[in-house]
Chain A
Amino acid sequence: MTAVRCVDLCKTYRQGDQDIKALDHLSMEVEEGGFVCLSSPSGGGKTTLLNAIGGLDKPDSGEVYIAGERIDNLSKGNLAELRLHRIGFVFQAFNLIPVLSARENVEFVMQVQGVPASERREKSLEILEEVGLEGLEDRLPSEMSGGQQQRVAVARAIVSNPALVLADEPTANLDSKTADGLIDLFKHLNEHHGTTFIIATHDQRVMAYAKRLVRMLDGRIVEEIDQNAA
């Protein structure tokens, strides 16, 4: 079954007098349980592609399907529902809510989903332990290091077992030990829960694990490597 399908996506940004083609007639499919790494030089279009797949940005033309459902024409409310229940996001910057503690940040999505408090608490403590943040549950983001904040963001993205996780440079601000732990966690989720991962990264360690590597340039896919086959 196809988890994500992009058909002929185009997206152009205007920068000064210049039109920048972030996506240029891009088509792509990702199977359920896939682990895809997008790589490109800066400005190659990988973040734009992730945003289009996550319903955060609308393409100028083309179609995006998540689990067979077309999403590029959904309303804001329906897109919010889709992101809430089916997609986990890890953004490039840490993007935690500053007034919530680590545990509350992890619980945020579940709380909006309507998960009961006891279940939320149990799951969030479990996932925080899994990302190595045991004992830091009540710290505010301002009281944590960059790596710790990124692990909270990852924990938040995966705590409610979304079918699809979109991650933009998730290991960029992490030390190698933490990054390895994070990659192991992604692998575990991918292998044991069938979670589909699409990760934009330059990190060779992440790329080494990926089942499929997609290289982009100027908004187009220039190379695809199936690492399982290799």
Chain B
Amino acid sequence: MINTLRILTMLAWRNLWRNHRRTLIMLGAVVIGVWAMIFMTALTMGMVNDMIEDSISALPGHVQVHHPDYLDDPNITNLLPLPEEAIADRFRSAGFLAWATRIKVPAVLSSERESRGVTLLGIDPQREEAMSFVDYSAVEGRFLEGPDDAGIVIGRKLAETLETELGKRVVLMSQDPDNDIADRGFRVVGLFSADVQAYEEQYVFAGKKTVQDLLRVGDRVTSIVVLGDDYRDVEPVFAKVSALVDDGVTVSRWMEIDTYLGTMLRVMDGFVLVWVIVIFLALSFGLVNTLVMAVFERVREIGLMLALGMKPSGILGQIVIESMMLLVTGLTIGNLLAWATIKPLESGIDISVVAEGMAMMGAASVLYPQLRFEDVILANTVVLILGFFASLSPAWRASRFQPIEAITRVN
């Protein structure tokens, strides 16, 4: 068996290089195909990763805890039943990467000229720094200094819309739990920028304690937000958070809070597979053609091998091994080429010329290709498995030759 495999492998390798020009052309096609699979997947996954991380940083966190009705109706009446101190007691020593409590309610922000509906975030800035989409150090003016900060931080775009600026006063209006109007004047202490322009228009930040006082909710909050290590693997964090809270609240994964985002991730994962398969299908025509030609040119010697006592399965094996050798060589070079082209680009590709379009999709203007081990494995596995099946047809035909007809055939 090993002897047969050895001779089959030797024959396959030597036959591969018999028509080296044809083999090199096919090898080139496999290399470019594999490179395209991995490179485009890295760009796609980089963009998706960027969009999802940006979106998660706006939620923020991978797992959140709310009142059971809050996600359907995010208003101040749907507060968590636990006081802040009780939450802190449970979460403090749980070992999360980051966690915070916050108030997130709809509000209206008015300058002396314009009014806009916004999402008010009452936060403890120190606790949220690790998971926020705002780079505190890049804020024009300053970011909030604590939960009892009396200032407000708004996005640059919103400031433009409201025709206000740093240092000016604005009025924030929302409702308290008794459905009475709660409003108060704030001085704009900071203007933040975000990769996604929509965030600059939607979110305004104020100190959590200040917002609790404004909305007359005491030490209650609307949400607990918890950050895990990997947005693709939220189950460990979800289980841990679920164990820490009572039955009367809802624990949600990020993809349940932002279902569009969760669906997009699944669609993009599926898209990668489709992309890889489509490229392979294009490749497979060349592969099958190469093998058919190789078999056609060797009818007599295949007949000879059968006549000398090689079993049809040996002939089939030889053609399949030949195909696998071509693919493995192409995959190796293609993988290295993809790695060599993606690595230098990992610091980011400037796509600011299409920034507006990207912003509409919720993506930033710098694209960071992401070379993921599992995507490389996926591309390699698809090529090898489908390549195996594509080579079966010519290999099967070769193995069915009648020895004497094959030997006497005149090419």
Contact = CB atoms under 8 A, between A and B. Distances in A.
Nearest to B15: A99
A124 to B, nearest CB: 13
Contacts, number: 74
A173 to B, nearest CB: 16
A176 interface: no
Interface string B107-118: 000000000000
A112 B308 contact: yes
A148 to B, nearest CB: 18
B308 A99 contact: no
Interface in B286-320: 300-301, 304-314
Given A51-B404, A99-B18, A115-B3, A84 B308 contact: yes
Contacts of B402: 57
Given A95-B300, A98-B301, A112 B309 contact: yes
B113 to A, nearest CB: 85
Given A97-B301, A114-B1, A109 B308 contact: yes
Contacts of B25: none
A195 B4 CA distance: 26
Contacts of B311: 76-77, 80-81
Nearest to A88: B308
A97 B3 contact: no
Q: Mostly helix, strand, loop or mixed at chain B's interface?
A: helix
B304 A97 contact: yes
A219 to B, nearest CB: 16
B240 interface: no
Q: Mostly helix, strand, loop or mixed at chain A's interface?
A: helix
Contact of B11 (A89, A91, A97): A97
A112 B4 contact: yes
B305 A97 contact: yes
B4 A95 contact: no
B1 A57 contact: no
Contacts of B7: 108, 111-112
A111 B306 CA distance: 14
For A81, A85, A98, A112, the residue with the greatest tally of chain B CB atoms inside 10 Å of its CB is A112
B6 A111 contact: yes
Given A111-B4, A111-B6, A99 B310 contact: no
Contacts of A81: 309, 311
Interface string A66-83: 000000000011001111
Contacts of A89: 307-308
Contacts of A85: 309
Interface in A37-92: 51, 54, 56-57, 76-77, 80-85, 89, 91
A100 B9 CA distance: 12
A99 B11 contact: yes
Contact of A114 (B4, B306, B312): B4
A33 to B, nearest CB: 23
A83 B4 contact: no
Nearest to B399: A76
B299 to A, nearest CB: 12
Which 6 pairs, one residue from A and one from B, show the smallest C-beta to C-beta distance?
A: A84-B309, A99-B14, A83-B309, A56-B404, A80-B311, A111-B7
5 contacts: A56-B403, A99-B14, A111-B7, A112-B309, A113-B3
Interface of A: 51, 54, 56-57, 76-77, 80-85, 89, 91, 93, 95, 97-100, 104, 108-109, 111-115, 156
